[in-house]
């Protein structure tokens, strides 16, 4: 923990985990215990706490972690969180997209006929803001599981979702209609920690810039 003094870092499990641990290794933080233990969540000696990416802003905002790494998609959906976004870390690149079934654009047709389109998504706030910003009316249906299923069953005309390669969309007969945002891993900070531990955090940012 000496590399970043007494800072505690919230690390996302899932797709961003290994790239984040690789980055911490480059900063001199020993991540071996994290890599060797899939069930343990708090690693005091390394100053690391692991959790779902969507929980990182909650812990950082509350001060349970000084810094955190999560995807831009999470920060877009949780834009009310009082955290500082310090750096685009560059890895974990995905696209937030509007997608629908191949062939006729059912979403555009619904807008023409009814003036409103039904959209399924795990990102209801992102989706609502996108349609509001583009002057279109949307009925947002929040889903937790495989969002690709929603247009195939007639629940909605289109979806807003995150895609890395587009493979899952293609395998389900969906195509991208619009790109909403590019999402990568971001480093965030608790505002109080950013002020009280400015020297440590600035030092960490300098080293991140170097690697």
pLDDT at 130 over 70: yes
pLDDT at 141 over 50: yes
Query: What number is the average pLDDT over the span 201-205?
Result: 93
User: Nearest-CA neighbor of 106 among 172, 65, 33, 157?
Assistant: 157
What residues does each domain of the chain span? 2-92+184-210, 94-183
What pLDDT, in 10s, does the model give residues 43-58?
Answer: 999 999 999 999 999 9
pLDDT at 100 over 60: yes
Name the CATH topology of 94-183. Answer: D-Maltodextrin-Binding Protein; domain 2 (3.40.190)
Query: What number is the average pLDDT over the span 148-157?
Result: 97
Residue by residue, DSSP assigns the chain as: -GGGTT--EEEE-STTHHHHHHHHHHTT---HHHHH-SS--EETTTTEEEE-GGGHHHHHHHTSSSEEEEEHHHHHHTTTS--EEEEE---S-EEEEEEEESSS-HHHHHHHHHS-EEEEES-HHHHHHHHHHTT--EEEEE-SS-TTHHHHTTS-SEEEEEESSSHHHHHTTEEEEEEEEEE-EEEEE-HHHHHHTHHHHHHHHHHHHH-
Task: Supply the CATH classification number for the domain 2-92+184-210.
Answer: 3.40.190.10
Matching CATH topology for 2-92+184-210 and 94-183?
yes
Query: What number is the average pLDDT over the span 24-46?
Result: 93
């Amino acid at each position: 923990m000496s590399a970043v003094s007494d800072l505690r870092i919230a690390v996302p499990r899932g797709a961003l985990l290994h790239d984040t641990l690789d980055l911490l290794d480059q900063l001199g933080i020993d991540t071996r215990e994290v890599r060797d233990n899939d069930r343990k969540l708090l690693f005091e000696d390394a100053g690391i706490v692991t959790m779902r990416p969507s929980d990182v802003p909650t812990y950082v905002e509350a001060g349970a972690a000084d810094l955190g790494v999560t995807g831009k998609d999470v920060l877009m959906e949780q834009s009310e969180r009082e955290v500082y976004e310090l750096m685009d870390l560059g890895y974990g690149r995905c696209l937030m997209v509007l997608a629908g079934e191949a062939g006729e654009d059912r979403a555009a047709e619904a807008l023409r006929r009814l003036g409103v389109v039904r959209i399924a998504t795990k990102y209801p706030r992102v989706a609502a803001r996108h349609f509001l910003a583009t002057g279109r009316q949307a009925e947002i249906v929040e889903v937790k599981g495989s969002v690709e299923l929603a247009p195939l069953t007639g629940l909605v005309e289109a979806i807003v979702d995150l895609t890395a390669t587009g493979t899952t969309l293609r395998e389900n007969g969906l195509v991208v209609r619009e790109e909403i945002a590019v999402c990568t891993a971001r480093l965030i900070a608790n505002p109080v920690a950013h002020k009280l531990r400015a020297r440590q955090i600035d030092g960490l940012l300098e080293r991140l810039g170097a690697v």
